[in-house]
Amino acid sequence: MIGVGNPWRGDDAAGLHTARALRPLLPPAVEVLEETGEPTSLLDRFAASDVLWLVDAVRSGAAPGTIHRLDVAAAELPAELFRTSTHHLGLAEAVELARALGRLPRQLAVFGIEGADFSAGEALSPPVARAVPKVAALIAEEVDACTKRR
Amino acid sequence: MSEQPPRTKTIKTDYLARVEGEGAMQVKIKDGRVTDVKLRIYEPPRFFEAFLRGRSYLEAPDITARICGICPVAYQMSSVQAMEDICGVEVDGQLRNLRRLLYCGEWLESHALHVFMLHAPDFLGFSSAVELARAVPGLVEQALELKKTGNRLMSVIGGREVHPINVRVGGFYRAPSRGELDALVAPLERARELALAAVETVAGFDFPDYRHDYTLVSLADPELYPIDRGRIGSSEGLDIAPSAYDEHFVEEHVAWSNALHSRLVGGGSYLCGPLARFGLHYERLSPLARQAAQAAGVGPSERNPFRSIIVRAVELVYAADEALRLIADYELPDRPAVEVEPRAGVGYGATEAPRGLLYHRYRLDADGTILDAKIVPPTSQNQRTIEEDLRGVVERSLDLPDEQLSALCEQTIRNYDPCISCATHFLKLEVERC
């Protein structure tokens, strides 16, 4: 599981907080990582993963704290959702690049948490802070189901 | 037949994709003439020069690194150089080499991203790197591998791959071991091969027929290709120390952009970046990089900005080659940094960011508190030239349908690999009303 975000830009850190909330909930076999979203590293992680959960903050116009679950297998990820960085290709582009290059994990789920405030600072806005443990619980359930199937 | 009415059209791109930061472009055409060209940088002002006031001189490299996620090393290097200038310290020998090596990592990262992912799609008719990856996956694989090698260099010397944390005034917090650098040799040799192939690939693109007699401006080092330090020189014979920068270059505010425009005092626009470095210091490239340039048909007289993509690829070859040279010559320094004592004064730093000259000036008080700071990034310096080239390119291509003309304008802007986030730093807000 990879949480993506910038720890200094408010709700942008939602993915990182989710990773931290998930760590105690998951069996040790599941690796939980915090990443900046730098695309080359992400692509390497994709190629090295079999089943992967990604969590990042998004901006779609939905109510802050809304949880999106995007099915990567079904459709292209909408790039405009993840335009939170001006210096890299976004998460959606990284996923689509991986798809084009045949580097996607066998199973990949992307969770987006609708952010409200991306200004400088370490605090999450209240609706996003409330969404974080919910997303963590959803992923923990999915991990559980996935490991039981094996 | 009645006379045709005057034809007015406006080409606007409200959000420029595949540039670093947020910008827009507007070109107005009336009766077959370009009447107005504006590169609007609307990324909000960033206030870094103001943030720096009141902070310790030791914090400058870490604060300014945050200006840009793609060229943080450039900011660190220009800032430490300025602080060392104030404190009367020169960082030389292996410590200077390590700085240059770190800088090579940044050139690899930044140029690989721009050449393949941001600029190549323009030449090949794709709207994005993802489309390019679908059609020509091999090209994107090359880019990723090159970028990864740049990232590794940054991690080993800088402590991490984005916003390095190991740079300090006087040198580094920790110098890498011989073994750590040896592990980079094989990936760098591979990167050099990939870069050579990249030069060949991009040299085969179709280039719009356009030429501009730029005034070229870049650093000048007595022996090496300009990266980490030197005097500032131009194709018009300018030869000054960085401390004289403010006497020769001015920044001006224009209403339509949140980035200041630079020009030469008593003159006009100028060009900095790969084409300028290459044009002025071709002879200082490594023999291998020169050979690659020659085979690709670019030389120091190259003035077609679209062909800067070839020059960037040549600089990829050079960055890998130079990194290998620096590693071969490496010996663990006695200490990772030289002692620096603060003192009151004004100091200057200038280095070559991947996209061109980056100038810093600081004033400190006796205990090392920053009293004021001035930072002039390369994209600010190139802004006026970008607009001139847009005008020139559009005037030659008026017959193109709007969509193609618009794409050509974007491609023109990307010739400069503009980093809009870096360029946005002035303190005055104005609203333009039409």
A window 83-142, beta carbon within 8 A of B = 85-89, 93, 96-97, 100-102
SS3 (DSSP) at B376: strand
Distance CA A8, CA B63 (A): 13
Task: Tell me what pLDDT residue B426 has.
Answer: 23
Residue A36 has pLDDT above 90, yes or no: no
The secondary structure of chain A in percent helix, strand, coil, rounded to multiples of 5, reads 45, 20, 40
Task: Tell me what pLDDT residue B16 has.
Answer: 58
Q: Which two tokens stand for residue A62?
A: 């939905």
Q: For chain B, count helices (H), then strands (E).
A: 16, 13
Q: What is the ipTM of this complex?
A: 0.82
To test the contact with chain A by mutation, choose from B62, B114, B130, B148 the residue with the greatest count of A C-beta atoms within 10 A, namely B130
Q: Do B128 and A85 touch (CB under 8 A)?
A: no
B20, B134, B151 ranked by CB distance to A100: nearest: B134
Label residue A76 by pLDDT band (50, 70, 90): confident
Residue A2 has pLDDT above 60, yes or no: yes
Task: Tell me what pLDDT residue B430 has.
Answer: 24
Instruction: Enumerate the residues of chain A whose CB falls inside 8 A of the CB of residue B159.
Output: none
Q: Is A144 on the interface with B (CB under 8 A)?
A: no
Query: pLDDT, tens digit, for every residue of A94-146?
Result: 899 999 999 999 999 999 999 999 888 899 999 999 999 999 999 999 999 98
Mapping DSSP onto H, E and C, the string for B128-140 reads CHHHHHHHCHHHH
A41, A87, A100 ranked by CB distance to B421: nearest: A87
Is the Cβ–Cβ distance between B188 and B157 less than 8 Å? no
Distance CA B192, CA B317 (A): 5
Helix axes B287-296, B185-203, angle to 10 degrees: 20
Closest listed residue to residue B44, CA positions, set A124, A82, A86, A56: A86
SS3 (DSSP) at B357: strand
Count of domains observed in chain A = 1
Q: Do B20 and A43 touch (CB under 8 A)?
A: no
Low-confidence ranges of chain B (pLDDT < 50): 1-3, 424-434
**DSSP labels for B154-221?**
HHHHHSSSSS-S-EETTEESSPPPHHHHHTTHHHHHHHHHHHHHHHHHHHTS----------BEEEE-
Task: Tell me what pLDDT residue A150 has.
Answer: 65
Task: Tell me what pLDDT residue A102 has.
Answer: 92
Distance CA B253, CA B259 (A): 7
Instruction: Give the helix ranges, DSSP H, for B221-376.
Output: 245-248, 274-281, 287-296, 308-328
In sign, the C-alpha dihedral spanning A96, A99, A103, A106 is positive
* Contacts of residue B138, Cβ cutoff 8 Å, sequence gap at least 6: none
To test the contact with chain B by mutation, choose from A101, A104, A119 the residue with the greatest count of B C-beta atoms within 10 A, namely A101
B43, B137, B161 ranked by CB distance to A100: nearest: B137
Q: What is the CATH number of the domain that holds A92?
A: 3.40.50.1450
H or E element that contains A107: strand A107-114
Closest listed residue to residue B363, CA positions, set B77, B57, B63: B57
Mean pLDDT score across all residues of chain B? 89
Instruction: Enumerate the residues of chain A whose CB falls inside 8 A of the CB of residue B151.
Output: 38, 40-41
* Contacts of residue B193, Cβ cutoff 8 Å, sequence gap at least 6: none
Output phi, psi for B256, to 5 deg.
-90, 5
In single-letter form, the type of residue at position B259 comes to A
CA atoms within 13 A on the CB side of B77: 28
Q: Do B421 and A86 touch (CB under 8 A)?
A: yes
Closest listed residue to residue B356, CA positions, set B407, B315, B304: B315
Task: Tell me what pLDDT residue B374 has.
Answer: 93
Task: Tell me what pLDDT residue B427 has.
Answer: 21
b (16+ CB within 10 A) / e for B125-162 = ebebbbebbbebeebbbbbbbbbbbbbbbbbbbbbebb
* Contacts of residue A109, Cβ cutoff 8 Å, sequence gap at least 6: A52, A53, A54, A69, A70, A71, A72, A139, A142
Task: Tell me what pLDDT residue B262 has.
Answer: 87
Distance CA A81, CA B65 (A): 27
Give the other-Cβ count within 10 Å of B31's Cβ: 10
Task: Tell me what pLDDT residue B431 has.
Answer: 22
Calculate how close chain B gets to A27, using CA atoms only, in Å. 28
Q: Do B117 and A89 touch (CB under 8 A)?
A: yes
Task: Tell me what pLDDT residue B19 has.
Answer: 57
Q: Do A86 and B130 touch (CB under 8 A)?
A: no
Task: Tell me what pLDDT residue B49 has.
Answer: 87
Q: Which residue of B has its CA nearest to A80?
A: B17
Task: Quote the DSSP letter at residue B262.
Answer: E
To test the contact with chain B by mutation, choose from A12, A36, A43, A97 the residue with the greatest count of B C-beta atoms within 10 A, namely A97
Is the Cβ–Cβ distance between B329 and B322 less than 8 Å? no
- Residue contacts between A and B (CB atoms, under 8 Å): 49
In single-letter form, the type of residue at position B232 comes to I
Distance CA B130, CA B145 (A): 16
What is the domain extent for residue A112?
2-149
A73-80 average pLDDT score: 77
**This prediction's pTM:** 0.89
Task: Quote the DSSP letter at residue B3.
Answer: P
Instruction: Enumerate the residues of chain A whose CB falls inside 8 A of the CB of residue B112.
Output: none
Better-scored residue on pLDDT, A7 or B16: A7
Task: Tell me what pLDDT residue A17 has.
Answer: 97
A38, A40, A97 ranked by CB distance to B130: nearest: A97
Give the other-Cβ count within 10 Å of B3's Cβ: 5
b (16+ CB within 10 A) / e for B62-71 = bbbbebbbbb
